[in-house]
A = this chain, B = another copy of it.
Amino acid sequence: MTNDRERQQKQGTGGMVGDLLRAFVDRIERLEEEKRTLSEDLKEVYAEAKGAGFDAKALRALIRERRIDPDDRAEQESILDTYRAALAGWERTPLGDAAERRAAE
């Protein structure tokens, strides 16, 4: 009988592994659901902040800045400064070229 086979798969002696698997799936899905809820809460807070007159983009930038390690940030900034310096005076970009071509059409 199909149902017996089903029940065996889910509950029988051989189903212990299945029970274990289902337990894991359950835990995972609960955790994911909680994460999803938090993401929504976060979205709400940003919306609220925006409603209070704060710039959401800047607020996100602020949070990001606070999140990352100050040392790492300094390191990255330092490298970036070096590159910026290496390109100093180099305003002739492909993007500029394209804009000129576009204007010439």
**B-contacting residues, A1-60, CB 8 Å:** 5-12, 14-15, 17-18, 20-22, 24-35, 37-39, 41-42, 45-46, 48-49, 52-55, 57-59
- Whether A24 contacts B86 in the complex (CB less than 8 A), given A93-B29, A94-B18, comes out as no
Query: Which of B45, B62, B89 contacts A87, CB < 8 Å?
Result: B62
Copies of this chain present: 4
B9/A86 in contact, CB under 8 A: yes
- Residues of B with C-beta under 8 A to A30: 94
Closest Cβ of chain B: how far from A4's Cβ, in Å? 11
Q: Are B97 and A9 in contact (CB under 8 A)?
A: yes
Q: Which listed residue (B9, B32, B83) contacts A59, Cβ 8 A? A: B83
